[in-house]
A and B are shown apart, each in its own frame.
Chain A
């Protein structure tokens, strides 16, 4: 370095040039060194990530957590690793840790659909309804790396189930109405949405979705059964009978369909409110309904002294009172008493049902027609 002390050479440009050359040389060496290390880190991150996936696949979530954490040591910014780690924490039952981890991911990427959905599930699990609802909506309107429509629908359906689990049918129905607008041509999906409409009590929309499902896949037994039930609840017994028949045609061993068919046949014979029947026929059917209810009440006579028999006793007494006037002539003169008999019959059937007596198809038919009539009145 003595050369640098000579006046004619000691000039900034020369010194700077030497320093630049030194910088270039040292940078090249450091680059080679860091590249070698980066390659090693990259290999290690993949190795530990694969190991974590294997552990997770073998239900060893705790081991997977450690593996994913190690993978993240070598590739800290890897989003995929972080998602897997969060998932592994959740599978390992470390709900709080998983929630914290997902929250960290959410804070980095608040529009991320998968993170929002996982947070919604965890919040729902913890009973934090407000957060769950917020994150479900985040998942529905968030960004999804792939299959965005399918994933958004899944999130919507989970939100509906979440509302239903909390008894909030109103919000569930609103969500279903939005969802049903954009459903693809998928019979199973329409059936699933229809089932949910049925659960919230919107039989009209449920029936509509079942019909759409049947249109797409006429051999869909589940949609057929669902349609039959919805039509039955709506009082459209002919349609219900048609769906049940088609359902039985698709699966003859379906015992519930057979039972439903029997009920429907009874309904067609018993329904006093059926349009187009004469007054005499209406009275005849009313008396038959009244007798069916009486028969069901009398099935308790063998168990006198029991709690069930005691609770049925007032109905039996009342039945006996009404029986005195339950005849063609009286009802012809007092048609307003038809409803009295029918209402009583329904109440007696309900009481019998709540006291453990399994209904016959006729009993179910009585309940159905009276309930249907009450529903129409309301």
Chain B
């Protein structure tokens, strides 16, 4: 550093000396007041939750206003309304989707995932507005779709819009979409825990403390906002639930099996019809929402208007034993048909509510039948309906953890956990066996997108250090001995690098060339004092091989130590070992089927 040119320094009056602690204080204050994106991100999560909550409140109210105007205020619409409302609205939706809001089709869930993985979480504001309008029109007019997935996309879209305006970093933008999604879903579903779990389980696929904190903050603030306006009453009243006897688990297993089969039928129906509609000429695609609306009117005319719309009121009735098992069974089947028609036609709207509806009806039917034959053995029909919701959630949406927590969170009763676990497990396993590709994944692939399938990622075998490491080397050098002694030991071996045990019992690394240099210079000092030992990080056998890869690119040899005793060397690993493990044919996981 050169000395300052004193001739250029202006002469000024002597000033009062700056107190060093005051200078440190102001410096710290300035640093704290400076914009901190990480800190601001947490505050932003709360505001995103509030905005998403407000948006979902408006979305729900708009949807219900439309329902009132188009289908009337009666619980079941008149015949002409049931025919005209969904079909004419279908035409209007097509006009909007084909001209102004092109990105507004679908449920919203896959679109959010696509935005996250393809465009760094960016969702155009136009898509959000389009989803708001078209989904509220569709659901309000009686199309068999739900408001949860659109709410999820609306939340994610709002978050994206705010992040874009604030010019947040790309990394933050990618987190912002799931934060908004969780907020939207939590407000729509009035269940923050389930929303957070679902977003982590199905949208992000992984989590860290930072992500969890922001997602939880946004979900909680959105639910609080929503409850402020719409009240804390759930969308369907949950009767007190209970599992009376352990024998009931048999019935819940049957419910799980039926739920699994229903999930497969539902997924298969959409998987069959949707590509056919997408492959049809454009003018027909324009007409399909209207045609689906007409067919829905036909189902309503046949005596089952309950399948129209999201169906929360009828889920409430099913939970309170207001239908016979035959009607419940019919409603479950017809809802699969109605939702397949509405969704496959390209009408914007979600799959959550129909899934819950089908599950509630199926559960109610099983509960009612069991009640007929074993009246003293059975809990309330409402318990079965509630468990049924979780069953379809596990089977169709393939979100097993969320499905369990959803049933518990909605009921607020943990006594049914055994029933929920058993039923959901059966449903999930049957669905996985009969329909290897999850329904949501199937839909994205039909759209030509290959987004990460969270279920597949969960199933992928994780390679660990122990899959690649070599056994403990025969020679471990002692740092207290001179290089000559070490050279005697290693002279006949082909290795280039050697582990050295230091006096502190930690492990260091030494190379053959360094040792040779010390021998050549007849250095009598112990290795510890020669400055030739390099500190090396260590690994444990159960650690992910990806972690080892990062270490092995910086160090030629990494020791693998026991977790129980870090002075105990279990083996060693280098880059070559890791590459060999990755290349082994039996370790290749089927990424794309």
The interface stretch among B8-16, B315-323, B567-575 is B315-323
B322 and A27: CB pair below 8 A? no
- Once bound together, how far apart are the Cα atoms of A77 and B235, in whole Å? 11
Smallest CB-CB separation from A41: which chain B residue? B64
Chain A residues 111-170 with CB under 8 Å of chain B are none
Is the C-beta of A4 less than 8 angstroms from some C-beta in chain B? Answer: yes
Smallest CB-CB separation from B380: which chain A residue? A103
Contact of B76 among A23, A66, A77 (CB under 8 A): A66
| In the complex, chain A residues whose CB is within 8 Å of the CB of B35 | 7, 10-12
B58 and A12: CB pair below 8 A? no
Contact of A12 among B40, B54, B73 (CB under 8 A): B40
Is the C-beta of A104 less than 8 angstroms from some C-beta in chain B? Answer: yes
**CB within 8 Å for A23 and B47 given contacts A11-B33, A103-B380:** yes
B483 to A: closest C-beta gap in Å: 57
- Once bound together, how far apart are the Cα atoms of A74 and B313, in whole Å? 10
Binary interface profile of B, 319-342, with partner A (CB < 8 Å = 1, else 0)? 011100000000000000000000
Contact of B75 among A30, A31, A69, A100 (CB under 8 A): A69
Interface centre among A7, A74, A97 (most CB of B within 10 A): A97
B51 and A70: CB pair below 8 A? no
| In the complex, chain B residues whose CB is within 8 Å of the CB of A360 | none
B539 to A: closest C-beta gap in Å: 40
B261 to A: closest C-beta gap in Å: 27
Chain B residues 26-75 with CB under 8 Å of chain A are 33, 35-36, 39-40, 43-44, 47, 50-51, 54, 57-58, 61, 64-65, 68, 73-75
Is the C-beta of A243 less than 8 angstroms from some C-beta in chain B? Answer: no
A15 and B54: CB pair below 8 A? no
A104 and B58: CB pair below 8 A? no
Is the C-beta of A178 less than 8 angstroms from some C-beta in chain B? Answer: no
Is the C-beta of A73 less than 8 angstroms from some C-beta in chain B? Answer: yes
- Once bound together, how far apart are the Cα atoms of A22 and B54, in whole Å? 11
- Once bound together, how far apart are the Cα atoms of A104 and B51, in whole Å? 36
Is the C-beta of B240 less than 8 angstroms from some C-beta in chain A? Answer: yes
| In the complex, chain B residues whose CB is within 8 Å of the CB of A100 | 320-322, 381
| In the complex, chain A residues whose CB is within 8 Å of the CB of B322 | 97, 100-101
A16 and B317: CB pair below 8 A? no
**CB within 8 Å for A33 and B58 given contacts A48-B73, A104-B239:** yes
| In the complex, chain A residues whose CB is within 8 Å of the CB of B74 | 66, 70
- Assign chain B's interface to a size class: 35 or more
Is the C-beta of B522 less than 8 angstroms from some C-beta in chain A? Answer: no
Interface centre among B68, B73, B321 (most CB of A within 10 A): B73
Smallest CB-CB separation from B375: which chain A residue? A128
| In the complex, chain B residues whose CB is within 8 Å of the CB of A19 | 43-44, 47
Smallest CB-CB separation from B164: which chain A residue? A1
| In the complex, chain A residues whose CB is within 8 Å of the CB of B233 | 76-77
Is the C-beta of A275 less than 8 angstroms from some C-beta in chain B? Answer: no
Smallest CB-CB separation from B53: which chain A residue? A30
- Once bound together, how far apart are the Cα atoms of A42 and B166, in whole Å? 41
| In the complex, chain A residues whose CB is within 8 Å of the CB of B381 | 100
A63 to B: closest C-beta gap in Å: 11
**CB within 8 Å for A1 and B167 given contacts A66-B75, A76-B237, A101-B320:** yes
- Once bound together, how far apart are the Cα atoms of A58 and B563, in whole Å? 80
A5 to B: closest C-beta gap in Å: 6
Binary interface profile of B, 297-321, with partner A (CB < 8 Å = 1, else 0)? 0000000000000000100110011
Chain A residues 26-42 with CB under 8 Å of chain B are 26-27, 30-31, 33-34, 37, 40
Is the C-beta of B165 less than 8 angstroms from some C-beta in chain A? Answer: yes
Smallest CB-CB separation from A34: which chain B residue? B229
A37 and B61: CB pair below 8 A? yes
| In the complex, chain B residues whose CB is within 8 Å of the CB of A306 | none
> A10-B35, A66-B74 known; 4 other A-B pairs, CB under 8 Å?
A15-B166, A26-B51, A66-B75, A96-B321
User: Which 10 A-B pairs rank lowest in CB-CB distance, beginning with the nearest?
Assistant: A100-B321, A107-B240, A70-B75, A19-B47, A34-B229, A1-B165, A37-B61, A30-B54, A104-B320, A44-B73
Residues of B within 8 A of A (CB): 33, 35-36, 39-40, 43-44, 47, 50-51, 54, 57-58, 61, 64-65, 68, 73-76, 165-167, 225, 229-230, 233, 237, 239-240, 313, 316-317, 320-322, 380-382
Residues of A within 8 A of B (CB): 1, 4-5, 7, 10-12, 15-16, 19, 22-23, 26-27, 30-31, 33-34, 37, 40, 44, 47-48, 66, 69-70, 73-74, 76-77, 96-97, 100-101, 103-104, 107-108
